[in-house]
Chain A
Amino acid sequence: MVATMQDVRVDDDGIRFSSHDDVVVDVTFDGRRVWSFWLQRDTAGRGGDREIAWPQPLRRFLDGATRLALVDHVADAELYAAEVALGGGTGRIAVQDRKGRPLGLDKSNRLSRLFESRDSDQVAPLMDAIDTVLHALDKAGIEGFVAYGTLLGAYRDGRLIGHDSDADLGYVSRHSHPVDVMLESFALQRTLVEMGFVVTRYSGIAVKVHVPEADGSIRGLDVFGGFMRDGMLYLMGEVGAPFEESWIFPRGTVELEGRTFAAPAHPDRLLAAMYGEGWRVPDPAYEFTTPDSTRLRLNGWFRGIRVGQGRGMGTRELTPDEPSGFVQWVHGRCDASVGTVVDVGCGYGTDVVWLGRQGRSAWGMDAHYKSYVRMRRLAEAEDLPVRFRWVNLTEQRSVLDAAADLSRLPGPRVLTARHVLDTLDRAGRDNVLRVARVLARGGGAFFCQVQVTPDRNPESHGQVSPLDLDDLLQVIAAHGGDAAHVETLNETDAAGAANIARLMVTWK
């Protein structure tokens, strides 16, 4: 039975309507899907009178006219259609990227290039990438298969799901203890890197493999690790379900866009574990309803190595031109005997370059390599004594390596961390203080700036959580540090209490 909608009104805020049905509806502009939502689940209102706001990522496009239709996704039936005008624009609304390629919202409401708008010659490179990574996994002794939406599309229709935007791979380890499964994943990462792939780690058992394509662009494929334990399958990032090993092994195959790929022995079993028994019915606005017990297990065992890492940094517009007040303060307190300054969590690297221009030998390190590429280029062009390196302050292996690497630099060494301790979690703060202790010994110091009240600097883009200054001083003392200097200041527009603390910490 097809759902019905009445009294549909569309304006700059969103869509209002009356309906007692709850089906998933596609919003199309001039015939092209841009978004999907459930009539009841995703809307607010009383009884049958419902409303839903335009998702934030779509709003910047809503300036012009379009034929807007609301289509029952499963029944493929138009429930509403009208020519509408939004914003003040006079042209047609075009939801597209800078190159004019159509965009739409995927199930997580991220604006992406979806498969439904790609031609078959654009799909072929993705199929090649899946093939490449599955072969690489096989060579590394890992029995990979297509997973999540990629498996769903393949098993259900032999095609990619139109409203999907990426391809996912998975594997189930033959190990059964979380530690062994992670050790296997670390070894896998080494093997893939040796094969020439760039690999980014997302958790103890999930990585993204970056595959170069013929046109020079890079495609990232997620590889989710999993394992069996006490009759349960746990698979990053959403699955925890009673499972039989024989439903995975020996692996079978599925057809996808005319190609054959490895699949679990019983894809239907894995799909039910991933999406529930309703997996056969398409849902472009699907939300995972992972039970707390599974989420807590996956979080506890494997997650926590990406805390505080900002997204979308590295754009030219956001890179500050001026050095921070903090780095100038540090520079003023350091005499010429300081051998090296290391900016921990350097972000864009503006402060590091400024230190180099003052004649100081300086290193910047950050988990977001894209954020500092521009400043690294600048430093190279100006021939400054400045270097940058990648570090993940929430990953112990990376912190150990950074400490060992930088301990060879000339001392005394000064470390700086501007709004880093207040961006990380406790484990990350411990890691920073461990690095500081190793590197600042022998006459060096650790300088940091943290936010200590909820009042923010209006120019700040960071995701800081204010720290209690007394708690921080206790943690520093627990790491053997001596807070030799503490001062507070106000970095907000508002007059009144200080919101920032600056500390100088030394070790004997």
Chain B
Amino acid sequence: MPAPPKFLTDRLAARRSLRSRVSALEEAVQENRQLNLRIAELTDAMMELVVPLSERDESKVQAVVDRYRESLGGPR
């Protein structure tokens, strides 16, 4: 059987490469989306805890930490 013409093998190779690039892109997009949750969690912890920490009031800090801890969990 004669070998397929070059333009055809090139086109097939390009299609394969496009497929793998699209699936790599999809993975990357999904990874980026997952950053939203991480940023939200870190921002929340910073806003709720760091400000009272900077006020250096130990009793206030403990109350804030307790309140934060209480709000995270389910029943205990």
Contacts and interface: CB of A to CB of B under 8 A. Distances in A.
Interface of A: 178-179, 182-183, 186, 189-190, 193-194, 198-201, 204, 210, 296-297, 299-302, 304-305, 369, 389-390, 392, 395-398, 400-401, 404-405, 427
Nearest to B42: A396
10 contacts: A179-B39, A201-B74, A204-B40, A210-B75, A296-B26, A300-B32, A302-B36, A390-B72, A392-B73, A401-B68
B30 A300 contact: yes
Contacts of B74: 198-201, 369, 390
Interface in B24-76: 26, 29-30, 32-34, 36-45, 47-48, 65, 67-76
Nearest to A189: B71
A293 to B, nearest CB: 11
A397 B33 contact: no
A399 B59 CA distance: 23
A398 B40 contact: no
Given A190-B67, A200-B75, A210-B75, A397 B34 contact: no
Interface size class of B (residues with CB under 8 A): 20 to 34
Given A210-B75, A300-B30, A369-B75, A186 B44 contact: yes
B23 to A, nearest CB: 13
A396 B68 CA distance: 13
Nearest to A203: B37
Given A179-B40, A204-B37, A392 B72 contact: yes
A434 to B, nearest CB: 13
B75 A401 contact: no
A290 to B, nearest CB: 16
Contact of B33 (A189, A301, A392, A395): A301
B76 to A, nearest CB: 5
Contact of B37 (A199, A301, A369, A392): A301
Interface of B: 26, 29-30, 32-34, 36-45, 47-48, 65, 67-76
A186 B34 contact: no
Contacts of B30: 296, 299-300
Given A193-B70, A405-B69, 7 more contacts: A186-B71, A193-B71, A198-B74, A199-B74, A299-B30, A301-B37, A369-B74
A183 B33 contact: no
Nearest to B30: A300
Nearest to A187: B44
A183 B75 CA distance: 21
Nearest to B74: A200
B66 to A, nearest CB: 10
Contacts of B71: 186, 189-190, 193-194, 199
Given A193-B70, A392-B72, A300 B33 contact: yes
Contact of B40 (A183, A194, A200, A296): A183
